[in-house]
Amino acid sequence: MADFLGKLKGKIDKGISTVNVKSKELIEKQKIKMQLSELGAERKNVFLELGKLTHLMIEASEGANQIAGDEAQRSKKSGELKPDKWEQAVLSVLTSICEGKLDSILFENTDKEFKITAKVLSAEVQKSIPKSEQKGQNLQWLGRVLGKFGIASRKFSKRINRERETVYEFDKQKVHSALNMVKDSKTKNGQSSKTGKKGQSTNYREQIVAKSKEITKLDSKITKLEQQLSQIGA
């Protein structure tokens, strides 16, 4: 009887021990599976963030390229408006006229506009150009300069002192605007604008690298946990 009870007790103890081991294994497995689930969800979120950053980086890069193209175009236009020293002589005379310093050479002068013959305007411009550099600055050249900078409002022919002459009519407000535009283009020419797009692209790239490293670390943790899971109960 004592032997029977001893054997029964041994079997019960062994059964309890087995149950305890199995319970511990089950608890450990559930714990690892929970960790794997959390790491998997975290990995998925990091991948989503990585995708967003990649999209933002591409947008910033395209924006920087567009801005660079726009700046190049503006620079080209600024270069086209930048006057050489002979053209500047024409602009300087017109500036003096607008400031009321050369009223005596005008054919007609009102509050809103002034008129001057091409010959008189050309003669005044020639005064500021050294004779050694006076090459081809004729009336046709003068007309091209005025057309280039969009200054003259109207040109017409009129008989003055029995001679047919070309007369330029200038709107004072338009002349002021044109001269200011040329002045602004000279000031801005060669200056680089700070867009910040390139910096944004670099910042996104750094964040993408950081997220990629984060995914690598998560993958390493997941691999270790999967190995532990496979070894439980083996």
pLDDT bracket for residue 69 (50, 70, 90): low
Rounded to 5°, the CA angle 149-91-168 comes to: 70
Confirm if 105 and 124 have CB atoms less than 8 A apart.
yes
- Predicted confidence at residue 139, as pLDDT, reads 82
Return d(Cα 119, Cα 81) in angstroms, integer: 24
Which architecture, in CATH terms, is 83-188? Orthogonal Bundle (1.10)
Q: What is the mean pLDDT of residues 141-147?
A: 84
Segment 158-201, tens digit of pLDDT: 888 888 899 989 888 888 888 887 776 655 554 444 445 556 67
- Predicted confidence at residue 223, as pLDDT, reads 92
Nearest of 50, 27, 46 to residue 222 by alpha carbon: 46
Q: Residues 57, 58, 60, 61: what is their CA dihedral angle, to the nearest 10 degrees?
A: 110
- Predicted confidence at residue 78, as pLDDT, reads 41
Residue-wise DSSP of 32-76: HHHHHHHHHHHHHHHHHHHHHHHHHHHHHHHHHHHHHHHHHHHHH
What separation in angstroms does the CA of 138 have from each of 153, 218, 232?
20, 79, 100
Low-confidence winner among 75-79, 122-126, 174-178 (lowest mean pLDDT): 75-79
Q: Provide the residue ranges of all domains of the chain, joining segments of one domain with +.
A: 2-79+205-231, 83-188
Q: What is the mean pLDDT of residues 69-96?
A: 68
